[in-house]
Amino acid sequence: MTAPHPTCEVEVRPEVTILRPVGRFGLEANAIIDRAVNKAIAGRPRRVVVDARGLEFIASMALGQLVILARKVGAGGGSMQVQAASPEVRDLLARTRLGELLHLADALDADCG
């Protein structure tokens, strides 16, 4: 089911920062993911999880924002992981060779639900 407008909630917890993108992140939605990434980076998180259960599609510019997030979190000694992505999103990440950089996981960690 497609959300009327893409959204990306950012939840900052002491142990993890969680991004929850929902919908289709085409070029027109780049500002939404950009704001979410900037909010996540501002807190200098040690661990970031992208809860990708609601992510239906992601265009190259939004993927670039996730790469920036992964690199900045990693540079600060932290880790980032994309969890519970749909088969379509997982396939896209595999084809673009970003799956390893974004540390794909099949399921959402229990502490991130």
Q: What is the pLDDT along the chain (113 residues), one digit of tens a residue?
A: 555 789 999 999 999 999 999 999 998 898 999 999 999 999 899 999 999 999 999 999 999 999 999 999 999 999 999 999 999 999 999 999 998 899 999 999 998 87
Domain residue extents for the chain: 7-107
- Alpha carbon 49 to its chain centroid, in Å, reads 7
Say what the pLDDT of residue 28 is: 86
Say what the pLDDT of residue 3 is: 53
Q: Which residues contact 67 (CB under 8 A, 6 or more apart)?
A: 98, 101, 102
Rounded to two decimals, the pTM is: 0.93
Q: What is the CATH number of domain 7-107?
A: 3.30.750.24
